[in-house]
Amino acid sequence: MDKTIFGYYIEPDVYFDINKRMLVNVDKNIRSHSYSPVILRETMFHLLVYLLENAKGNIISNSDILLNVWDNHGLSSSNQRLWQVMNALKIKLNAVGITEDFIMRVESKGYYVRENLVNVLYTNKKNGFIGKPSNAEQVIS
């Protein structure tokens, strides 16, 4: 089966649309104006995607993040820049209802993502149907 990641559900009421670089709280029990959709800038988008792709129960090292989010995209990297963008990302995640401890800093090592709160959404190239997953990884066909 030819499947492609088209997004993620986080905690599970936040949908991350990777094509639009947008985070949306889709909880039907809240008032629609409680959470506004958030669009991520390019570097912040690459950072979140890298963290979600590597949320496997391990610490994601600062050096791996800097290489894959900044250096591999032709950008100048530094620990200070990582700290700044990570803090801004956490503020945006919180603005759509994701708890502050979803991404945790591990002093001098890197970051840990609570992978049990991440559901990967796949699409089958035939029909592209979108639906909310019930398992950790959901194939939409």
**CA dist 45 → 42, 49, 71, 92 (Å):** 5, 6, 15, 11
In this predicted model, what pLDDT tens digit does every residue of 64-104 receive, in sequence order?
A: 999 999 999 999 999 999 999 999 999 999 999 999 999 99
pLDDT at 140: 39
pTM: 0.84
In this predicted model, what pLDDT tens digit does every residue of 1-43 receive, in sequence order?
A: 578 999 999 987 999 999 999 999 998 877 655 788 999 999 9
pLDDT at 136 over 90: no
Residue ranges and CATH numbers for the domains of the chain are 3-140 (1.10.10.10)
